[in-house]
Amino acid sequence: MEWAKSNGFMKRPNPQITINQHIAPQRHLRNFLIPGGTKLERFNIDALRIESPQSPKSACSEEFYYALTPGEYDEYSQVVENAFGNIEDWYGKNINRIESQLLLSKALSDQDRYQVSAVIANFYFRGYKHREEVRRASIELINWAFPNNEEAASSAAKTSHATNASFDIGHANTLTHKHWRILINHSETHPFITSDEAVVEVYDSRIPKNLILAGSFSLQTQIFHLSPKIAIISLWPFAEKDQGITEFLDVTDNELGIDRNNLQYIKHAHKYAYAPNKILFNKIISGNHAVQDSK
């Protein structure tokens, strides 16, 4: 809180300014609490250890994360925070209804499918990994095109280049046309988990790596654990008949399949994974090869 102290906000808090900005929204993290619980089990992936439980309010946040220079206050970070609030507001008001419908194996309406797609795209593009990839690529491009130009390099490092993608409706439109595979999991002991990357993206091995744009958002597979009971996997529709199709699979008794899906989150997280219980984390610690293989 050094910035807050030096600028007097610890003494005179301004409700208009959001200092701690969430990468994975609080409302999303609350989906993974046990009924009546207030804290999530937390797994440090780098250190392979279980750390003290954390509340959704304190998890997955950094001071002025959305600033042009993260950690330093600017108006841009506040505009982004407010804009993200609009998306999160819809999410908070509708998420229970969406989950209930999917648990009944009912496909979403076109409007709900688009709204959920907008949420998935937003959560992905605001994540640690995408922002860092865009920042690194921008710097490399500028250093190649304008070597030794410090002003250009400084501009390329601004995180707005990644953040702006969070508002591009084209990404949500792409997701609505993909093939959605919904995994339904009623297991109390082996729930789906989440991490400090609310959406993870994996390479689809069926797509040739030398294909133009093979690594693009439209061709990659996005995995979004909506809750401990619902996982949404968006796949590239290889046949026209698969476009916009939703299929449902009950994986409640498929412990290995659930673990494999969860390990995708372990693999692609920035640092921390979160779950309603410690069962998966203890399993990983007792047999670290599971994480190493997923890496």
- Number of domains within the chain: 1
Q: DSSP 3-state assignment of 40? A: strand
249 strand-pairing partners: 183
Sites in the chain below the pLDDT cut of 50: 1-13, 289, 291-292, 294-295
What pLDDT sits at residue 259?
95
Q: Write out the two tokens for 3.
A: 């910035």
Element (DSSP H or E) covering residue 49: strand 49-54
Q: What does the pLDDT read at residue 15?
A: 55
Q: Which domain holds residue 169?
A: 2-294
Mean pLDDT, rounded, of the chain: 87
Give the C-alpha separation, 108 to 116, whole Å. Answer: 9
Quote the pLDDT of residue 132: 81
Q: Which two tokens stand for residue 95?
A: 């998420």
Looking at residue 135, what is its pLDDT? 79
pTM confidence score: 0.87
| CA distance linking residue 18 with residue 34, whole number of Å | 28
pLDDT of residue 288: 53
Q: Look at residue 295 in the predicted model and tell me its pLDDT.
A: 42
Q: What is the pLDDT of residues 210-230, one digit of tens each?
A: 766 666 788 899 999 999 999
Please give the backbone phi and psi of residue 222, each rounded to the nearest 5 degrees, phi first: -105, 135
**Residue 292 confidence (pLDDT):** 46
Secondary structure of the chain: what % helix, strand, coil (to 5)? 45, 15, 40
Q: Residue 225 CB: number of other CB atoms within 10 A?
A: 27
